[in-house]
């Protein structure tokens, strides 16, 4: 959960375009997080 907190502390005040660029440049990292969440919801 620390990653989520750090994300909001560092990027919460950025524009939508800047956040989109961040996600695009770190897509594989975010994809791993979403896949992990899906697996936890299934089980």
- pLDDT given at position 3: 56
- Phi-psi label, residue 10: left if phi above 0, alpha if psi -120 to 50, beta otherwise: alpha
Tens digits of residue pLDDT in 1-43:
445 556 666 666 778 888 788 878 878 888 888 888 888 887 6
- pLDDT given at position 23: 77
Give yes or no for a contact between 11 and 19, defined as CB atoms under 8 angstroms apart: yes
Would you list the DSSP string of 1-43? -HHHHHHHHHHTTS-HHHHHHHHHHTHHHHHHHHHHHHHHHH-
Round to whole Å and give the CA distance between 28 and 8.
19
Domain count, the chain: 1
Range of the domain at 9: 2-42
Tokens of 18: 């800047």
- pLDDT given at position 1: 44
- pLDDT given at position 8: 61
- pLDDT given at position 4: 56
């Amino acid at each position: 959960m620390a990653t989520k907190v750090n994300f909001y502390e560092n990027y919460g005040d950025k524009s939508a375009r800047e956040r989109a660029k961040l996600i695009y440049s770190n897509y594989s990292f975010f994809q791993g997080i979403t896949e992990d969440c899906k697996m936890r919801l299934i089980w």
